[in-house]
């Protein structure tokens, strides 16, 4: 009898490879329609450890992320809305991609090569996160969805035309979310332009490592790898000073509870931001590769979030303006201090403060901000 040539060991190898091929998943689904009928898609990324990340095309937004705690229990640790309606009525940048310029530009003006540009003012007298219709409010195109044994990913793209929100140059942007078998979620932002412009993209996810809607994050232990920070004025615009954190409430170089010093009424900077809403100086220039910029440990769930980035700055926001008017994904109300935000980026208002470096992007060059979130547990 003629043998097929399939030995037991070869069959076992095929079965192992087949199992690996389905270790991660990426599926597309609808997330509803805008008032004008535009469709919003959701892409759900899964790994074999039970982690899931749902990304919606409105704002290239991380709508939810489930991760296990020290006991293996899964929970969504990202603030957001269960339906599209919430993102339309009160977006609050939940999980969103922010740009063209993340953070603030003073008075909505900047000068580039001798020409003054005006961008929309939407944060009192300043421009915040790209203006009245920044990238968080655009429907991005789902350009690619794929998965293999190691990871699942979705790439979204958007084109901002020359003059959009007052910014010069046509800007082509991609955002690639990748969930790996190593329990890492990365967001890879890239952009190219046809005309000299400024770019500063970041992600504005609100994190609660005990679980979305579970209450305050003030007991979370945070470490920030910055030995200086940028003081701000009453409008949250940097004053231009770079101040050492040593001996201040801004010193998180060793683990410290977010809420330990947050009620210090003698610290004017905490009054200006109603808490922490400042940029830490991680380095004076962009690093050659992502390195650890922050680590947060939740003593209740045991979840640990380690953040890596090559950006020179990190904006840390302690959820100061959550005001109990928002009902989130699980039907719980979000109150002040119920989440924290970590945004790797260039320094705020860099186009108006040359000592902060440069936000210029020239034709023929590529802007990149690779953000890596590593999830683990500490029992």
pLDDT per residue as tens digits for the range 166-213:
999 999 999 999 999 999 999 999 999 999 999 999 999 999 999 999
Is 122 among the domain residues?
Answer: yes
Residue corresponding to tokens 């009160």 = 90
Does residue 176 belong to any structural domain of this protein?
yes
Name the average pLDDT for the chain: 94
Task: Report how far residue 66's alpha carbon sits from residue 70's, in angstroms, rounded to the nearest whole number.
Answer: 13
Confidence tier at 22 by pLDDT (50, 70, 90)? low
Residue 8 located in a structural domain: no
Q: Does some domain include residue 13?
A: no
Chain centre to alpha carbon of residue 322: 17
Residues with catalytic annotation?
204, 343
**Closest CA relative to residue 171, chosen from 188, 195, 142:** 195
Give Cα 183 to chain centroid, integer Å.
Answer: 17
For the stretch 316-371, pLDDT in tens is 999 999 999 999 999 999 999 999 999 999 999 999 999 999 999 999 999 999 99
Supply the Cα-derived Rg of the chain in whole angstroms: 21
* Count of the separate structural domains present in the chain: 1
The pLDDT of residue 332 is 97
**Does 17 reside within a domain?**
no
pLDDT at residue 10, as a whole number: 35
> Mean per-residue pLDDT for 94-115?
98
Residue 5 located in a structural domain: no
Q: Is residue 190 part of a domain?
A: yes
Q: Residue 285 has which token pair?
A: 């220039």
Bridging pattern class, strands 97-98 and 171-180: unpaired
Q: Dump pLDDT digits (tens) for 235-262.
A: 999 999 999 999 999 999 999 999 999 9
Q: What's the angle, vertex CA 85, arms to CA 80 and CA 87, rounded to 5?
A: 45
How far is residue 363 CA from its own chain's centroid?
26
Its domain, for residue 81, covers 23-377
Q: Give the domain CATH number at 297.
A: 2.70.98.10
Identify whether 9 is part of a domain.
no
Residues 274-293: b if buried by 16+ CB within 10 A, e if exposed: ebbbbbbbbeeebeeebeeb
**Measured at the alpha carbon of residue 15, what is the angle toward residues 11 and 20, in degrees to the nearest 5?**
145
What residues contact 19, with CB distance under 8 A and at least 6 apart? none
């Amino acid at each position: 009898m003629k043998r097929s040539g399939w030995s037991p060991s070869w069959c076992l190898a095929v079965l192992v490879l087949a199992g690996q091929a389905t270790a991660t998943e990426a599926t597309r689904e609808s997330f509803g329609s805008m008032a004008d009928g535009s469709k919003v898609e959701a892409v759900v990324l899964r790994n074999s450890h039970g982690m899931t990340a749902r990304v919606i095309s409105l704002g290239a937004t991380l709508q939810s992320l489930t991760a296990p705690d020290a006991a293996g229990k899964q929970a969504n640790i990202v603030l957001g809305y269960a339906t599209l309606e919430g993102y339309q009525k009160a977006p609050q940048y939940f999980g969103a991609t922010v740009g063209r310029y993340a953070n603030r530009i003073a008075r909505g003006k900047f000068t580039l090569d001798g020409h003054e540009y005006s961008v929309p003012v939407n944060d009192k007298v300043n421009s915040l996160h790209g203006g009245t219709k920044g990238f968080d409010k655009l429907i991005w195109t789902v350009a690619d969805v794929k998965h293999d044994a190691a990871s699942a990913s979705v790439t979204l793209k958007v084109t901002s035309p020359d003059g959009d929100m007052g910014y010069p140059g046509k800007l082509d942007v991609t955002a690639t979310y990748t969930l790996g078998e190593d329990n890492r979620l990365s967001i890879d932002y890239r952009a190219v332009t046809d005309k000299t412009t400024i770019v500063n993209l970041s992600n504005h996810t609100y994190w609660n490592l005990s679980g979305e809607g579970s209450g305050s994050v003030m007991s979370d232990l945070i470490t920030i790898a910055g030995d200086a920070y940028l003081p701000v004025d009453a409008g949250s615009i940097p004053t231009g000073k770079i101040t050492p954190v040593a001996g201040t409430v801004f010193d998180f170089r060793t683990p410290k509870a977010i809420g330990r010093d947050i009620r210090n009424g003698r610290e004017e900077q905490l009054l200006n931001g109603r808490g922490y809403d400042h940029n830490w100086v991680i380095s004076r220039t962009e690093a050659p590769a992502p390195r650890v910029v922050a680590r947060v440990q939740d003593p209740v769930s045991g979840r640990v979030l380690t953040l890596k980035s090559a950006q020179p700055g990190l904006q840390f926001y302690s959820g100061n303006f959550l005001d109990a008017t928002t009902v989130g994904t699980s039907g719980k109300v979000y109150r002040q201090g119920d989440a924290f935000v970590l945004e790797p980026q260039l320094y705020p208002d860099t186009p108006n403060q040359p000592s902060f470096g440069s936000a210029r992007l020239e034709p023929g060059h590529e802007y990149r901000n690779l953000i890596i979130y590593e999830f683990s547990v500490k029992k």
